[in-house]
Amino acid sequence: MRLQFKGQVFVENHHLAVPYHELKAVRSKSVSPKASLHDNLIIQGDNLAALKALLPTYHGKVKCICIDPPYNTGNEGWAYSDRVNSPMMQDWFGKVVDRDDLTRHDKWCCMMLPRLKLLRELLTDDGAIFVSIDDNEVHSLRYLLDDVYGRENFVTTIVWHKMDSPKNTAIHFSEDHDYIVVYARNAAKWRSNPLPRSAKMLARYKNPDNDPRGRWLLSDLAARNKYVQGRYPITTPTGRVIKGPPAGSYWRVNKERFAELEKDGRIWYGKTGDNRPGIKRFLSEVRSGVVPQTYWHWKDAGSTRNAKQEISKVMSLGPSQDAFVTPKPSKLLKRILQIATDKDSIVLDSFAGSGTTAHAVLALNKEDGGNRRFVLIECEEDYADTLTAERVRRVIKGVPGAKDKALEAGLGGTFSYFKLGKPMRRESMLKASGLPDYERLAGYVFFTATGEEFEPEAINRDTWFIGASQLYDVFLIYDADTEALKNMALTLDIARKLPSGERRRLVFAPTKYMDSELLHKHRITFAQLPFEIYETVEKLVK
């Protein structure tokens, strides 16, 4: 069953109509020798447009997405601002959403659907998305994610016990938890990493008999699962006969297997040798961590109070100052990253807020020597620089007086700050205004025409080559200089100089001086700039 909501018909394919935008580097706000889209990123601008702008570079490359969208409580003061091409919907969309808005749930769905669709395009085949939410929209979110990712790719819903004390001002119940809904791009391929064992867990492993195999934990030999071979007497070293397992249970191994375990010194009868036996599980033989559970207590994942204290310390705020209303603790995000990333994974947060995701990525890299990269998008211009990016600058350089010694010394790392630029529209190209640079346009035309990842390092300006797809070698004859662009065209001379190969060549240029017969002879499919691309795709498919 699909979720039905007002405005649905206008937003279902809205992500396709969103134009690609330039991403303008702001070097003064970066912490990097040279701004690059392949660095850690903080992008200021509307997250829908920014996600579309990231597609040429990051399509299918993001291992883990962590987002904390508006919970739609009615107190957040957000407005749906996407430019949906429907005059009849603009007035409804543009109003600020508050508690009295009876259609706020519909608006929230309209806001989320196109973003979820673009986010899915950025995930690796074995990637996953983690969405923080509460009771206001968790049901709607599940329906949306079922629709976008497929119900078969639902992984779990985590309950985060976020409050370290009850709210005594609550009218009905103290709401102590939020949810983290997890979907995989492909649940058959995605696997969670084990979480590290805590000091408390490790302390349970002991070695009272000085076994040379090291510390062990006693596992109960009895179980309640019916096992027809699990009913037999056992004689302890003291000679006492245990006629069988406790009532209503069974020994978990048969008599022959028990004898093998006993011979190998894996059965423990207690220090006196007269206790009911158990099986020794050696720490050296169990998996390196523990399987993640779906209930996360604030002591393990941090609380909302921890989050506010953390950001206040990093940003040097006084007791009466609030930097961000609903921050998440870095401990919570770090736990997600431990479960969902490898050491070289790319992590995306398109509702960056206070920058907790970046903080957690840098902290985990410092801890395990990883090289994870973060991509953060924050739409609010007021604090994308002064809060989101500033927090990351401080944790990179060090926070004086922080309890965490690594944070105090500085977590290290870099990031490049980008601002969402102008849309790369056909109209602006025709007027030769707002021309994008060569690499940006190359990424746009390559991804849009082939649907495959763009690798900037493949560019060869001498031959106009910008990349190889599965079927085509792709070329772009272009210059961001207006005067130079006026005189550019695909000519027979250029066609002869293009690198030869067995595959067809897809060539983008402002115009051509070759007829169809010559194009066919040189195995060239021509696509005229500015952006005659979707038509080209249709021709290539045919």
pLDDT at 487: 84
SS3 93: helix
List the beta bridge partners of residue 62. 123
Better-predicted residue by pLDDT, 178 or 10: 178
SS3 244: coil
Residue with tokens 């330039």: 22
Lowest mean pLDDT among 77-81, 129-133, 427-431: 427-431
Query: Within 10 Å of residue 466's Cβ, how many Cβ atoms?
Result: 26
List the beta bridge partners of residue 512. 490
Say yes or no to pLDDT of 291 above 60: yes
411: pLDDT confidence band, cut at 50, 70 and 90?
A: very high
DSSP 325: S
Lowest mean pLDDT among 26-40, 57-71, 194-208, 314-328: 314-328
pLDDT at 471: 84
Most confident of 88-92, 127-131, 163-167, 502-506: 127-131
pLDDT at 542: 41
Residue 28 to residues 40, 341, 390, 393, Cα–Cα distance (Å): 15, 31, 12, 12
Given a contact cutoff of 8 angstroms between Cβ atoms, the answer to whether 77 and 98 are in contact is yes
List the beta bridge partners of residue 222. 251
Give me the percent of the chain exceeding a pLDDT of 70: 89
Distance of CA 68 to the CA centre of its chain: 11
Say yes or no to pLDDT of 377 above 90: yes
Give me the percent of the chain exceeding a pLDDT of 90: 63
Mean predicted confidence (pLDDT) in 290-303:
94
Residue with tokens 């927090």: 391
Instruction: Give me the residue spans of the domains in the chain.
Output: 8-192+293-421, 199-282, 424-541
* pLDDT tens-digit series, residues 510-538: 889 999 899 999 999 998 876 443 333 33
Most confident of 7-21, 102-116, 409-423, 469-483: 409-423
Say yes or no to pLDDT of 278 above 50: yes
Most confident of 332-341, 437-446, 482-491: 332-341
pLDDT at 322: 63
Phi/psi for 161 (5° steps) reads -75, 95
Instruction: Tell me the C-alpha distance between 366 and 359, whole Å.
Output: 11
Say yes or no to pLDDT of 78 above 70: no
Distance of CA 149 to the CA centre of its chain: 14
Q: What is the widest separation between alpha-carbon atoms in the chain?
A: 100
Sign of the dihedral defined by the CA atoms of residues 309, 313, 315, 317, in that order:
positive
* pLDDT tens-digit series, residues 297-324: 999 999 999 999 999 999 988 766 665 6
Better-predicted residue by pLDDT, 6 or 166: 166
List the beta bridge partners of residue 159. 179, 295
pLDDT at 321: 66
Say yes or no to pLDDT of 431 above 60: no
Mean predicted confidence (pLDDT) in 277-282:
95
427: pLDDT confidence band, cut at 50, 70 and 90?
A: low
Say yes or no to pLDDT of 373 above 50: yes
Instruction: Tell me the C-alpha distance between 388 and 45, whole Å.
Output: 13
Mean predicted confidence (pLDDT) in 135-143:
94
Better-predicted residue by pLDDT, 185 or 85: 185
Given a contact cutoff of 8 angstroms between Cβ atoms, the answer to whether 364 and 66 are in contact is no
The mean of the pLDDT values for the chain is 88
Under CATH, which number does the domain 8-192+293-421 receive? 3.40.50.150
